[in-house]
Amino acid sequence: MENPLTGKQLTHIEADGRAAMVDVSGKAATVRAAMAGGQVRMLPETLEAILAGNNPKGSAIETARLAGIMAAKQTSHLIPLCHPLPLGKIAVEIQADRQLPGLKIEATVKTTAPTGVEMEALTAVAVAALTLYDMAKAIEKTMQIENIRLLRKSGGKSGDFVAEDGGRGPGLS
């Protein structure tokens, strides 16, 4: 099956349409990195409560940071056809943005492996955002998880990628 945007053969689809895990066993292990970002928009009062530590469930930001790290390590268990990878670095940063208002999340993941870590970085951001929501839903249920996306990646056959805005992330870089 062909990718309609590039005209290239899709790597995870067999000729008969069945999903398949890509065989990377013959590829060399190289250094690969990816950064993803996203945000949780909330009422100013919710943000201030989180920052002041007035959250019924405890430290929302630290719990979300740990959840993001743990999620990156579990990506191959969560996303079909993802390879389990030896992750050398996982960093999840969460910062307040009073202009949003809300919290901005950025995850950076690195490995030396035959395939990339984009999904691990994206999964870290998504789960950190979901955890922030869970930790603060007693304060506000109208929070919005937004703009989860790949900001940049390096290494591998497809080369480097930087988002159109320069991969600056959601205001953290």
- Active-site residues, by number, are 134
Which runs of consecutive H residues, i.e. helices, occur in the chain? Answer: 44-52, 60-73, 75-78, 118-136
Residue 13: partners with Cβ closer than 8 Å, 6 or more residues away: 1, 19, 20
Question: Which SS3 state, helix, strand or coil, does residue 122 take?
Answer: helix
Q: Please, are residues 123 and 71 in contact by the beta-carbon 8 Å criterion?
A: yes
